[in-house]
Amino acid sequence: MLSVLRGAGRGCLTSNRHLGTNYFSIGCGGATGVSGGLVTAPIFFQHPTKRHLARRSLDLYTELAHLGRFRVIDNDDVELIDCPSEMLARWPFLQTEDILLALYSPEDVALDPVALCQELAKQAQLAGAHIYENCAVEEVLLGDERQIYAVNTGGGLVETPRFVDASGIFAHTTIPVYFQWTGTVMAKSLPFRHIQTAAYPCTYTYIHSTKLPTGSVSDTTPIFNDLDGNVMMRATGFKTLCAGFPEDGIRPLARQNASQGARGYYVLNGLNGQGLSLAGGLGELLANWICDGIPEIDVAHLDVGRFLELHANSQYLMERVPEIAAMTYSNMYNSHQFHSARNLRMSPIYHQLRDAGAMFGEIMGYERPLWFEQNPKPERNALFRGQDALVGRPIWFDSVAAEYEACRERVGLVDMSSFTKFDIMGPDVVRFLQYLCSANIDRPIGTTVYTGMQHERGGYVTDCTLSRLSETSYFMVAPTIQQERCMTWMKYWAKKMNATVHIQDVTGMYTALDVVGPSSRYLMADVTEMSMSTTDFPTFRCQEINIGMATGIRAISVTHCGELGWVIYIPNEVAQNVYERIVEAGREYSLLHAGYYTLRQLRIEKFYVYWGQDIDATVTPVECGRSFRVDFKPDEYEALRHAFRVDFTKDFIGKPALVRQLERGVSKRFVQLLVDNHDKDTDPWPQGGETLFR
């Protein structure tokens, strides 16, 4: 099958090399970035996905070097050195007076990037790829359902269902994308638009010196890496190289996968100075992704689906990019919050929450309260920036402890407006959702179901709640970060199933307030003037209610943390009125505002999983203890029927993979561990992703 790739760098050529064995590919010349030739060792990448990609890149370069095509200069063993004399033994020119610890990298390598590109191009051509230089991509043509059907190049029109933009620093140069409507007797061109990606051009500093005298420096001389200054120096028998990192970049992580603006439009850009280290692995990953339809590893933090259209805004990028580039080699923990481009998306009650002491964190451009300061000062900065310290209790500990107690003993109020929300309706909605969801969603009107959407290998696409509003309509709530991915996934399967459904993103239409705690039943009864008993409003129910003068409020008896309570979805135009009524009525029950951190602490005790940390595309319901939410054939798994609540037969995406896993067993399991003798003030605090030894 024909594919067109725009670019001539390492990522593009690696994809071309792999696609050549499965596809007939054409590489249209773009830009070959200037590179210092340094390949950072996999050990330096914090995220396991990036470590995997760096390892695959290194394996590729080593393989090509063994063929004698170009030279790779590498080191031997990794060492962590705290002895000045040992440091000097490896680098005699090092000033050790103020250095406490040095890391001798094992697998940092240096190579000729131009020779590498030439060899990759040769390998791609041997695999069947056709490469055309000085051939610009002028237009990308879309047909029905925004599917690519052709690419217009400087050498002519190429019919293809897939286009890969791997043009690196030139990715910001937009390509006109034309939409075509095809009727029975005519074809009509519609005005073009641009496919926008959250990319911004980088600048690069690249300095070459003249050759050093032969033999003056050993080929195995290590790299001197000033991690604080982000300056690299490399001396070999051939040359001395000093390369600074990009002044302006995009994100410190790559962009890849299909663009949300067009079907078949793939993006492989945004390597931000890490091209040699990651491009080989990314090119292979994208090629396999295009061929198989599913990535082999978790790529949630690389997928372009983690961005919304707002991230492609030029002003947003101008504010955020300089901060991003400076953190390319920084350790960004789960608690990290940026300084720039803040206060973009806010709920209607943002200012009331700020006055109540909220400290906000940003996700998908949305400011949501992380915790509430006790006795806040009138004039204060309400935006949390930076990240938690590695050692000692975080600054929010006492506040979250008080909020936690309120939610467990009395009642708390949590703003959950940032969560993704969809209205899904149409005559085929039940058939459509039954196949997408692993749980049975064909329940009575007013029922809410917690379910996962699995891909073909059984892993999670997302987890969500679905509330049935009528015979032909559902209300879906999913994690904030999944807003674009959920829409893309559902639209893809609606087309594939030929299902008549309408999917509307209503995330920005509702303010969501979570009323949590044992007193929530009484507080809700007061503000709604209706019975909230277990008989009249049981758990996992959805009902439209009124609060004061406000109507059209959707109340769902699911709190996402396992405590008693309701999440109420309020139309934005009446949100302030409803919020004030709840706060006023809550004084009788000592209501306390609570942030997202409290919600996360509460869910841990109830063994509720958290998207992106506990579950992702590589985790199945069987592995994370959620197969009790999945419907299997009861007569085949009678022994598991009660343990996993297997009591209904239906087909869904990924079922065969989960059936095989139940039969063969699992190789990993989601468990909880209790850390003994942990000193909150002097011991390190887990940040996520740490290795556990036994």
Instruction: Round the CA-based radius of gyration of the chain to a whole number and report it.
Output: 27
Q: Are residues 462 and 346 in the same domain?
A: no
Q: What is the pLDDT of residue 240?
A: 42
Q: Are residues 209 and 356 in the same domain?
A: no
Q: Are residues 214 and 105 in the same domain?
A: yes
Q: What is the pLDDT of residue 164?
A: 86
Residue 638 lies in a domain: yes
CATH number for position 477:
3.30.70.1400
Residue 524 lies in a domain: no
CATH number for position 168:
3.50.50.60
Other beta carbons within 10 Å of 41 = 21
Go through 365-399 and write b for each residue having 16 or more CB atoms within 10 A of its CB, e for each that does not. Answer: bbbbbbbbbeeeeeeeebbbeebbeeeebbebbeb
Q: Which amino acid is at 7?
A: G
Residue 228 lies in a domain: yes
CATH number for position 593:
3.30.1360.120
Q: Give the pair of three-digit tokens for residue 69.
A: 């095509």
Find residue 611's DSSP bridge partners: 615
Residue 577 lies in a domain: no
Q: Are residues 686 and 605 in the same domain?
A: yes
Q: Are residues 439 and 407 in the same domain?
A: no
Q: What is the pLDDT of residue 72?
A: 57
Query: What percentage of the chain reaches a pLDDT higher than 70?
Result: 76
Give the domain-ending residue among 284, 319, 354: 319
Q: What is the pLDDT of residue 63?
A: 78
Q: Are residues 312 and 265 in the same domain?
A: yes
Count the domains in the chain: 4
Largest CA distance in the chain: 89
Residue 523 lies in a domain: no
For residues 513 and 413, the answer to whether their CB atoms sit within 8 Å is: yes
Q: Are residues 159 and 186 in the same domain?
A: yes
Alpha carbons within 13 angstroms on the beta-carbon side of residue 486 total 27
User: Residues for the chain: how many in total?
Assistant: 694
pLDDT along the chain (694 residues), means of 10: 74 73 52 53 67 79 70 60 86 83 70 77 81 82 83 86 80 58 33 50 52 58 52 44 38 48 80 76 83 79 83 87 77 88 96 97 96 90 92 94 97 97 98 94 93 91 95 97 94 94 97 97 97 93 96 94 94 98 98 96 86 87 71 44 44 90 87 87 84 74
Residue 552 lies in a domain: no
Residue 130 lies in a domain: no
Q: Are residues 401 and 485 in the same domain?
A: no
Q: What is the pLDDT of residue 377?
A: 87
Q: Are residues 408 and 293 in the same domain?
A: no
Q: Are residues 177 and 281 in the same domain?
A: yes
Other beta carbons within 10 Å of 540 = 15
Q: Are residues 269 and 343 in the same domain?
A: no
- Residue 279 belongs to domain spanning: 135-203+251-319
Q: What is the pLDDT of residue 182?
A: 35
Q: Are residues 344 and 407 in the same domain?
A: yes
Residue 26 lies in a domain: no
Q: What is the pLDDT of residue 538?
A: 92
Distance CA 655, CA 646 (A): 13
